[in-house]
C-alpha cells in the first residue's frame, strides 16, 4: 500500500492506492483517507455523519469505510451509498473520460482543456470526412473508366509520402516542450490546409498524385507535431504520478469526439454532395470551427514551465511592479496566434551555446575574443541587438 500527502492545505488527508487497509487487494483506485478529529472547513458537515468512535474514514468508490477501535480491537465498518440506475450509468461513463481521483489528481485547467479538445476532435472528424471524400472521388472511385490497379498504386504512394512527412518536424527537438501551445496550433493549421488540398483534389483529378502526396506529407508532419506536444501538456496536468491514466483518458476523449464528428461529417457530406457551393461552405465552416476549438484548447492551458515568452513577461512584470504574476495570468497573456519567439518581440535576444563562427567572422576577431575571455568559461558578443554566448 502506498500513501502520499495530497497537499499542505488538506492536513490529515491522504491517498492510498492498489489495496485497501483490509489487505485484500481489492484493486480500488486511489482512496481518500480522512481523520475526523482533524477535519475542518468544508469537511465539518461530513464529520457530523461519521461514527463518534471512528478513528479514520476511507472514501471508496461507492461509499466509505470507517475504522473504529472498540475494546482494544480494530473494526472496519463499510457503508455503501445508495445509487440509482442513472447514477451508476453516469459513474461508469465518467470512468472512461476522467482520471482516477478527479479533480484532485489533475490541474485546474484539465476540465477546460478536455472540453475544447473534445470539440476540436469533433470538428476534426467532420473535416476528415470531406477530405476523404475528395480523395476517393479524385482517385476515381465510382467511375467505370477508372483502373483499380492504378488507383491502388497511387494510394499506396500517397501513404508512403505521408509517412515520410512525419519525420519533418522531428528536427524541432526541444521546441515542442518550449513552445507547446504554438506548435499544437500550428499542427492544426497545417492539418486543415492539407485537408483543404484533399477536398479540392477532384477538381484537378489529372494531378491527383502530386496533390495527394503534398497533402499527406503535410498531414504526416502535422500528426507528429501534435503528438509531440501531448507529453508536455499531459505532464502539466499531473498532481499524482498518473501520467498514464491522463494519457488514456485523453485518448478516449479524442476517439469519442472523432467518432461523433465523423457521423456529423457523413450527414453533411450526403446533404451537400449535389451542390459544390454548399459543400465548400460546409467544409469551410467545420474547418474554422476546428481551428477555433484548438485555439481555445491551448489558450486554456496553464503551463508552469518557462519558455522565452513567459520568462520575458515574468521578468518584465517583476521589474515594473515588483510583483510576480500568477501562472494563470502569464498563460492568459501568452501569444499563440503569432510566432512569439520572433526577434521583434523580445529584444535583445540571447543565443546560449552559440556557434563560434557566428561570433568571430574573421581571424582577427577570433584572436581578440580569445584574449579577452581567456580567464572565463565563455565568450560573449553583442551585435544587432543579439547577445551570443559561446560556452568553452
- Find the helix packing angle between 208-237 and 110-139, rounded to 10°: 170
Residues facing residue 56 across a β-bridge: 67
Q: How many CB atoms lie within 10 A of CB 199?
A: 25
Residues facing residue 93 across a β-bridge: none
pLDDT of residue 174: 60
Segments of the chain scoring below 50 in pLDDT: 1-48, 340-341, 343-345
Q: How many CB atoms lie within 10 A of CB 318?
A: 12
Residues facing residue 19 across a β-bridge: none
pLDDT of residue 358: 82
pLDDT of residue 301: 93
Tens digit of each residue's pLDDT (9 = 90 or more) over 267-315: 999 998 888 889 899 999 999 999 999 999 999 999 988 887 888 888 8
What is d(CA 379, CA 383) in angstroms, rounded to the nearest whole number? 13
pTM of the model: 0.71
- E strand or H helix at 219: helix 208-237
Tens digit of each residue's pLDDT (9 = 90 or more) over 335-346: 888 664 454 445
Residues facing residue 351 across a β-bridge: 388
What is d(CA 326, CA 106) in angstroms, rounded to the nearest whole number? 18
For the chain, how far is it from start to end, CA to CA, in angstroms? 49
Cα distances (Å, whole numbers) of residue 138 to 272, 280, 352: 17, 16, 50
pLDDT of residue 48: 43
DSSP 159-201: HHHHHHHTTGGGGGTTHHHHSHHHHHHHHHHHHHHHHHHHHHG
Amino acid at each position: 500500500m502506498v500513501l502520499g500527502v495530497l497537499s499542505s492545505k488538506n492536513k490529515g488527508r491522504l491517498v492510498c492506492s492498489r489495496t485497501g487497509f483490509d489487505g485484500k487487494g481489492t484493486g480500488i483506485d486511489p482512496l481518500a483517507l480522512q481523520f475526523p478529529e482533524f477535519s475542518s472547513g468544508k469537511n465539518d458537515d461530513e464529520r457530523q455523519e461519521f461514527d463518534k468512535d471512528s478513528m479514520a474514514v476511507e472514501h471508496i468508490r461507492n461509499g466509505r469505510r470507517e475504522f473504529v477501535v472498540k475494546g482494544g480491537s480494530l473494526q472496519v465498518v463499510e457503508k455503501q451509498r445508495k445509487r440509482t440506475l442513472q447514477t451508476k450509468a453516469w459513474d461508469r461513463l465518467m470512468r472512461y473520460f476522467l482520471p482516477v481521483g478527479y479533480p484532485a489528481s489533475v490541474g485546474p485547467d484539465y476540465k477546460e482543456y478536455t472540453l475544447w479538445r473534445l470539440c476540436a476532435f469533433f470538428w476534426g472528424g467532420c473535416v476528415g470526412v470531406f477530405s476523404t471524400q475528395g480523395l476517393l472521388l479524385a482517385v476515381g472511385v465510382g467511375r467505370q473508366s477508372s483502373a483499380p490497379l492504378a488507383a491502388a498504386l497511387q494510394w499506396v504512394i500517397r501513404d508512403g509520402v505521408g509517412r515520410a512527412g512525419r519525420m519533418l518536424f522531428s528536427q524541432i527537438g526541444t521546441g515542442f516542450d518550449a513552445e507547446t501551445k504554438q506548435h499544437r496550433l500550428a499542427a492544426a493549421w497545417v492539418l486543415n490546409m492539407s485537408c483543404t488540398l484533399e477536398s479540392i483534389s477532384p477538381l484537378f483529378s489529372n494531378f491527383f498524385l502530386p496533390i495527394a502526396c503534398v497533402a499527406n506529407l503535410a498531414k504526416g508532419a502535422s500528426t507528429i507535431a501534435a503528438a509531440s506536444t501531448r507529453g508536455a501538456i499531459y505532464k502539466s496536468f499531473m498532481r499524482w504520478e498518473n501520467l498514464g491514466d491522463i494519457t488514456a483518458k485523453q485518448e478516449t476523449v479524442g476517439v469519442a469526439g472523432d467518432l461523433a464528428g465523423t457521423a456529423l461529417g457523413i450527414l453533411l457530406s450526403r446533404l451537400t454532395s449535389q451542390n459544390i457551393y454548399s459543400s465548400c461552405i460546409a467544409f469551410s465552416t467545420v474547418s474554422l470551427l476546428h481551428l477555433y476549438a484548438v485555439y481555445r484548447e491551448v489558450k486554456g492551458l496553464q503551463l508552469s514551465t518557462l519558455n522565452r515568452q513567459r520568462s520575458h513577461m515574468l521578468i518584465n512584470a517583476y521589474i515594473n511592479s515588483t510583483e510576480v504574476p500568477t501562472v494563470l495570468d502569464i498563460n492568459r497573456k501568452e501569444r499563440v496566434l503569432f510566432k512569439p519567439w520572433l526577434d521583434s518581440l523580445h529584444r535583445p535576444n540571447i543565443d546560449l551555446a552559440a556557434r563560434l563562427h557566428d561570433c568571430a567572422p574573421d581571424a582577427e576577431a577570433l584572436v581578440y575574443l580569445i584574449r579577452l575571455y581567456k580567464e572565463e568559461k565563455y565568450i560573449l558578443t553583442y551585435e544587432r541587438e543579439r547577445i551570443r554566448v559561446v560556452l568553452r
